[in-house]
A = this chain, B = another copy of it.
Amino acid sequence: MRRTPSQLRDGREIIYFDRDDAPVRAAVDARALDDRAVLGELRFDAFTGEWIAIAGHRQSRTHLPAASDCPLCPTQDGRLSEIPESEYDVVVFENRFPSLRSPEGAWTLPGEHIGAQAPAAGRCEVVCFSSDHDGSFARLSTDQVRLVIEAWRDRTRVLSALPYVRQVFPFENRGVEIGVTLHHPHGQIYGYSYLPPRIVRLVEQDRLHRQQFGKGLIADVIASEIADGRRLVLHTEHWVCFVPFAARWPFEAQLHPLRPGVHDFTGLSEAEAEELAVIFPRLLRAFDQLFGVTMPYVAGWFQGPVNGPLEERDAVTLHLQLQSNRRAPGKLKHPAGSEMSMWAYISDVPPEQSAELLRDAWTRA
């Protein structure tokens, strides 16, 4: 794998991740770009104890452009895109409309009180999985997925070293049904400067579990799912996938490495990464097999928090949370009153039933 860092016209970083025999990446960004986006705001929600990012400048971001105007395609035939090169394997660059970005000077998260606010420090990166506009992660070659995993590994290492970053979160949103505004196969990486609420909860549940049982929560849940078996989707040499016992979404699966103590992508062994490059896209194809239609999904990678207490880091091991809001061929699950207002999830699909459907879809994927 070859890594080539460069800069876009407005100073944003761009990094190419290529096969060893790829051409040299030396193209220069020839666009005239406006100044970089302003820094948004973090605000403390006193009723929930959570931080919310407010990014007013994002209202004008690119929204479902024609394929010929895709900003994630390589620069070709004089059409200048976000990627100066005329082809690429995998490329990562800082988002032009970031919700979170590098703060100016020293930065600390303020105390939690009514009216607390701070600049929205952090990092938002875009990861182009392939230069093929019409491709999808599910259809990438194993070699190509390996390059993406190397990009995630690199970005996890680099973003973890930023003193204001607390959580590195690689994810992909796929499908207009889930709000995707660009069709080109791509994901994102958020470097949050605060612990996201879902991580706060997981750390707290792990703390209670260790208090009572003297060992980590995630490992015990994995052991319990393997022992039960009814919600397992696959169980390979290095990985296990199951539908969560209390799934919120109609189709939802978690993929965990079997080896304990892998806290993020940088901790994966070569063999674990190799196997992941085979089973992850196949799991996505299994989702598409469920109803024979392309499934909208959020694929989010949980990793151990950084630059904080060791207990937080220990609580979270690397795993994928794959969630789809499609509950039937023509029907979506909408988070409405109970979910939006009370955060009380009602699911229509029993996890054992969706696991059975996914096991069957896996054999055909």
CB neighbours (8 Å) of A115 from chain B are 224, 228, 245
Q: Which residue of B lies closest to A61 (CB)?
A: B348
Contact with B along A338-360 (1 / 0, CB 8 A): 10111111111111010000000
Q: Is the CB of A54 closer than 8 A to any CB of chain B?
A: yes
Inter-chain contact B48/A198, CB cutoff 8 Å: yes
Decide yes or no: A47 and B221 within 8 Å by CB, A179-B334, A340-B323, A341-B198 being known contacts: yes
CB neighbours (8 Å) of A345 from chain B are 50, 52-53
Inter-chain contact B198/A348, CB cutoff 8 Å: no
Decide yes or no: A348 and B55 within 8 Å by CB, A300-B337, A337-B298, A338-B99 being known contacts: yes
Q: Is the CB of A247 closer than 8 A to any CB of chain B?
A: yes
CA distance A259 to B348 in the complex (A): 40
CB neighbours (8 Å) of A344 from chain B are 51, 53, 190, 192, 196-198
Inter-chain contact A196/B334, CB cutoff 8 Å: no
Inter-chain contact A46/B205, CB cutoff 8 Å: yes
Q: With both chains docked as a complex, state the minimum distance between the C-beta of A211 and any C-beta of chain B, in angstroms.
A: 13
Inter-chain contact B340/A298, CB cutoff 8 Å: yes
Q: Is the CB of A246 closer than 8 A to any CB of chain B?
A: yes
Q: Is the CB of A89 closer than 8 A to any CB of chain B?
A: no
Q: Is the CB of A130 closer than 8 A to any CB of chain B?
A: no
Interface set, chain A 199-241, CB cutoff 8 A to B: 199, 201-202, 204-205, 208-209, 217-218, 220-221, 224, 228
B50, B205, B245: the one contacting A49 at CB < 8 Å is B205
Decide yes or no: A342 and B245 within 8 Å by CB, A49-B205, A59-B327, A337-B172 being known contacts: no
CB neighbours (8 Å) of A44 from chain B are 245-246
Inter-chain contact A52/B350, CB cutoff 8 Å: no
Q: Is the CB of A184 closer than 8 A to any CB of chain B?
A: no
CB neighbours (8 Å) of A353 from chain B are 56
CB neighbours (8 Å) of A202 from chain B are 47-48
CA distance A180 to B198 in the complex (A): 27
B45, B217, B249: the one contacting A244 at CB < 8 Å is B45
Interface set, chain A 305-333, CB cutoff 8 A to B: 321, 323, 327-328, 331-333
Instruction: Please name 19 further chain A to chain B contacts, defined as beta carbons within 8 Å, in addition to the given A190-B337, A298-B337, sorted by A numbering.
Output: A45-B245, A46-B205, A47-B201, A47-B202, A47-B205, A50-B201, A51-B246, A52-B247, A52-B345, A53-B345, A53-B346, A55-B347, A56-B350, A59-B328, A59-B348, A115-B224, A196-B344, A197-B342, A300-B342
- Could you list 5 A-B pairs, sorted by A, with CB under 8 Å? A46-B209, A114-B220, A190-B338, A300-B341, A323-B340
